[in-house]
Structure 1
Amino acid sequence: MKAFSHSESGNEASSWKGETRGRIVLVATTSFRDSGLADVLVKEMEKISGYKIDLASKGSGTAIQMLLRGDAQIGITHAPDLEQALVDAGWTRMPFMKNYFCLVGPKDDPAGVKDKSLLEAFQIIHDRQLPFVNRNDNSGTDMKERRIWGSLGLDPNTFGDWYVKTQAGMLTSLLLANEKHAYILTDQSTWMNNKDKLTNLDLITALEEGENIYSFFFREPQYKVLADYLKTPEARGFIKQYYFDTVE
């Protein structure tokens, strides 16, 4: 993916002019890394803040637990059902970008579900027991997928060998789905930025409603500079370049 240049982004944020302010940990959902956005955005966050930022890529559930334990100073997650625990513990939540979930699968689409609704597609895949890859990592994507199965009255804990659990991040799981010619629920940004290497897969259907909201979390006031940066025209330019949308 081509990096978004400063000249393309409009107004630039000011670089930090003082001494390095120390090392902090950003724990973020794996799609932040796997989409390629982290490669650009973390460097810019370091430039404007003076912090050296170590990125830990985890599913949102694990990321939230790390923040609650104090193992990271800032975080990016997309699991609204779990994020309230951070807010209750005094963390500031700032939604700053979004994308959508989509179902991808084998190019020959053995389930015959291309362009059907997501619920119809899941039901047919289940009934025919076609290979399906699940992250099984308590990530935002994993929880979204489980809610879809649940809305059909289905419990994925009862599924057979056709349902493959990875306990891995988004790109690793997509690569396994590509290898196994399997269906998988993914966020659109990781898919769009990596589809050239997923040659056995194609977009099957997108989630018709509902947005996948990513929020930035911080608790200590000195990290507000990073939250403010994510709302600048420069940061928004990077975000859009990697197939995310911005939120107000």
Structure 2
Amino acid sequence: MAPGASPVVEPVVGEPAAAADLGGERALLVADVHAGIEVGLRYERGVELDARADERRERLCALIAETDADRLVVLGDLAHRIAAPDGDERDELVELIRAVTDRVPMTLVEGNHDGGVAEAFADDLDVIGAGGGVLGGTVGVLHGHTWPDPGLLDADVVCMGHEHPQVRLEDSVGGSRAERAWLRGELDPGAFVEDGGNEGDGSDPPELVVFPAFNERSGGTWVNVDGQSFLAPFLPDALPAGDAYLLDGTRLGDFRRV
């Protein structure tokens, strides 16, 4: 995506997903699937939307095939509702997890919506705790809702979700639209670790990649709008010079100046 960016993690053009080289394994990475979001919006806001469970499942399976992935890694918030999944949401999760694991193993990095999911589907998923972990010795993964494990600083690149980054783009006649975006740049170790704890040796800090939400209905943080607060406790400080990219690969430059 970015000139000179590490080839270890490469976005799939046009999709909120990336392929990652984990040494002996190739993985498809996505964040914030929010399965069952329509159920959640019905209860939370009284909003009725057509269900897209089949579409989400089919897109994930198609991307696994397209990228020739050996594993699917979900960077948190596989489910939408924070409580233990039930009803239509659980049905969607059962079908989605079955469809994926019939093809490849599935790893869930636990997000703030996933406590009930990790427990309910423990036999079907490999689960990494909220502090994150390092896959293949090179790719750090976390959701981003809490302070990370300092060991992620030993990775070449750190991938996270939670933020659902979007940019607001304006046209020549004053109209505007929101577009999902990637954020990518060198990570500041001192801002990434709680209280500036173990910051690694500081000689070659990893790249940080903030993933767009896989689910287009899940909203997000407009990173180029004044007054928007980031959700992760270490952002935006841990990304002092990050660039924004659209899903089609268009580089927008410093996300603060888009």
- Return the TM-score normalized by structure 1: 0.24
- Return the TM-score normalized by structure 2: 0.24
Larger Rg: 1
